């Protein structure tokens, strides 16, 4: 919890940096929708999420390098069973590097404040759902041809169990492309074994997961 509070302070500091740069006219933030048109709001929002996911994936992999893990990323993996607090429990340097994405992107990509603020809200909600044991969408969504490209609680839980798999934030593209997705993940999509985590229900798909689920419950 202390890490989450520290993290909130670092994010607030970065927000102050962005606001100051905006006031000085250095950023590419804009306030009139007409400047790039309505369609650009949607395009810039999706672009922002894809770019952030890409940045997150590669930074996350870097943080798992043995030389960096203990110093920069162990804070996020301290609790074996993720909780909502885990969502924003990052070591200070990692928190700053993650926030740096938004500090930098406002100088590069023209952004209206609506997609920017929406992306920050989506990031917060998504991160919480990735750690809460509840899926944001119904389980059937994650097995359809579009849904399998979205990361949910189950997908990220595997990262907290296995460390060297599932590094993404929103999308599974990079994990699929670079071979860091659990080979059994797709086959696990339909199973019906349920277990309780933090009092919530999460669908688990095969025996191996069921065993690790029992382990989680035993550890609690
Ligand atoms: Zn996590
Ligand atoms: Zn990690």
Q: Assign residue 163 a region (left: φ > 0; alpha: ψ between -120 and 50; beta: otherwise).
A: left
Query: Any idea which residue has 């750690």 for tokens?
Result: 131
Name which of 1-15, 48-62, 202-216 the model is least confident about: 202-216
163 CA → ligand 1 middle, Å: 10
Map out the domains of the chain as residue ranges: 1-132, 136-220
pLDDT tens across 58-109, in order? Answer: 999 999 999 999 999 998 998 777 877 787 788 889 999 999 999 999 999 9
Query: Any idea which residue has 């929708």 for tokens?
Result: 33
Ligand nearest to the CA of 88: 1
Reported confidence tier of residue 140, pLDDT bands at 50, 70, 90: confident
Q: Give the chain's mean pLDDT.
A: 84
Verdict on whether the full-model pTM lies above 0.85? no
CA distances from 100 to 14, 105, 199 (A): 7, 8, 35
pLDDT of 14 strictly over 50: yes
209 CA → ligand 2 middle, Å: 19
pLDDT of 47 strictly over 90: yes
Residue among 196, 188, 181, 18 nearest 113 (CA): 18
Ligand nearest to the CA of 157: 1
| pLDDT at residue 199, rounded to an integer | 36
71 CA → ligand 2 middle, Å: 12
pLDDT of 201 strictly over 50: no
Give the integer Cα–Cα distance in Å for 203 and 209.
Answer: 10
**DSSP codes of every residue in 103-160:** HHHHHHS-EEHHHHHHHHHHHHHHHHHHHHSS-SS-GGGGGSTTGGGB--HHHHHHHH
């Amino acid at each position: 919890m202390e890490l989450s509070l520290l993290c909130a302070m670092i994010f607030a500091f970065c927000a102050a940096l962005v606001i100051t740069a905006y006031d000085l006219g250095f950023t590419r933030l804009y306030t009139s929708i007409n400047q790039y048109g309505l369609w650009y709001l949607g395009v810039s929002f999706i672009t922002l999420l894809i770019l952030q996911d890409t940045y997150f994936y590669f930074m996350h992999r870097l943080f798992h390098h043995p030389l960096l893990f203990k110093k920069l990323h162990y804070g996020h993996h301290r609790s074996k069973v993720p909780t909502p607090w885990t969502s924003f429990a990052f070591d200070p340097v990692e928190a700053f590097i993650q926030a740096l994405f938004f500090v930098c992107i406002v100088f590069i990509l023209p952004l209206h404040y609506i997609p920017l603020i929406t992306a920050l809200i989506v990031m917060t909600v998504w991160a919480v759902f990735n750690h809460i044991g509840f899926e944001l969408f119904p389980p059937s969504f994650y097995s359809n041809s579009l849904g399998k490209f979205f990361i949910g609680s189950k997908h990220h839980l595997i990262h907290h169990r296995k460390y060297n798999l599932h590094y993404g934030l929103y999308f599974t593209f990079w994990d699929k492309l670079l071979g860091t997705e659990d080979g059994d993940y797709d086959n696990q999509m339909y199973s019906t074994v349920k277990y309780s985590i933090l009092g919530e229900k999460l669908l688990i798909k095969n025996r191996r997961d069921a065993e690790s689920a029992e382990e989680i419950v035993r550890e609690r």
